[in-house]
Amino acid sequence: MRGTTLPQPTPTARTVTALADGRRLLYYDRGAAVPRESVDRRPLDPPSHGSEVRLDPATGDWVTIAAHRQARTYRPPAEECPLCPSRDGRHSEIPAADYQVAVFENRFPSLAGPPAEPASRTDELWRSGPGTGRCEVVCFTADHDASFADLTPAQARLVLDAWTDRTAELSALPGVQQVYCFENRGAEIGVTLAHPHGQIYAFPFTTPRTAKAVARAAEHRAATGRNLFEDLLAAERAHGERVVLSGEHWTAFVPFAARWPYEVHLHPHRRVPDLTALDEAQRAEFPHLYLELLRRFDRLFGTGRTPYISAWHQAPAVAGEELALHLELFTIRRAADKLKYLAGVESGMDAFVNDVTPEDAARRLREATA
């Protein structure tokens, strides 16, 4: 990617409308906004929420209880996909006949609504409260049969712009502590809708993984006077053995203690806390490296589309000044005919055992060129 001439950015237009039950729907377009059908003609009942967050007294981790999600849509046939555009008299979550990127509030959210006081319960052992926050669905393209890896750099940049806009708006909501943008792909991961899409959670708490990173970064700062993530990135770039791809503004590497068979972290060279703080040079280069990473994952096993989870790690609202924005991409596939299941030690003790050395994983991903 070194020396690549990047095009000037195309402005992003945002159009806000509402679905029949009051949930917000946003269209994102490259350049000017595109006129399209905005009326949701379905007879929808108001969405039901009723989720709760409970604090595990033994670990300090928050757990979301969302029993209403048992009724959510589960693997519908392609002709009934709720994320495809509405066409030929079939109405979906997208009233328009076409779109570039669409974002809407989840009909079956784990978290929803403004903060409420007081918490439901605050005794010595049991703390709980309403599951407030926001859950949104991000449709990457109107093409049901595509995947993120099939997008052009311009389309991927539009998704990045949508993630950034949503991070800015959701972070400003009362009570939101952390915004998490992610994609699950593949039935093996547990995806219930095949259409290319991701999700965004606006949490009313700092997630357990992030809380651990906050603590580790604070320890590193106290011991060295330096930032943990800047040191990690510098060390991986200097060592080189686990680097998969590198550009002028981003580097992708397999972490030293990777938990998954094929796991890559993509960091901007200039540390920023979240997507809103990326500069134009970082935004322009990101689609090229990210698309190449996704395509290399698909070439790894010769089995077509590789199941994966793609996760943006962003700093929380509280004590997050030491964290660095980065994207984590990993697959549960460890061989062409084998999956990495979370068994007793991983699920029971959160103690991962990796079947592939990080160095070998990085080598294989470097070799997975077209």
Q: Which residues are catalytic?
A: 197
Output phi, psi for 20, to 5 deg: -60, -30
Distance CA(77)–CA(69), nearest Å, equals 20
Distance CA(299)–CA(368), nearest Å, equals 6
E strand or H helix that includes residue 189: none
- Maximal CA-CA distance, the chain: 64
Helix (H, G, I), strand (E, B) or coil at 154: helix
Q: Tell me if 233 sits within 8 A of 325, measured CB to CB.
A: no
Amino acid residing at 153: P
Q: Tell me if 238 sits within 8 A of 244, measured CB to CB.
A: no
Q: Tell me if 247 sits within 8 A of 289, measured CB to CB.
A: yes
E strand or H helix that includes residue 119: none
CA separation, residue 337 to residues 136, 151, 342 (Å): 33, 27, 16
Angle, helices 208-224/228-239, rounded to nearest 10 degrees:
80
Q: Running DSSP on this structure, what letter comes out for residue 45?
A: P
The alpha carbon of residue 49 and the mean position of all alpha carbons in its chain are separated, in whole angstroms, by 22
Distance CA(245)–CA(261), nearest Å, equals 18
CB environment 206-238: b (16+ within 10 A), e (fewer): bbeebbebbeebeebeeeeeebbbbebbeebee
C-beta neighbour count of 299 within 10 angstroms = 16
DSSP 205-252: S--HHHHHHHHHHHHHHHHHSS-HHHHHHHHHHHH-TTEEEE-SSEEE
Amino acid residing at 349: M
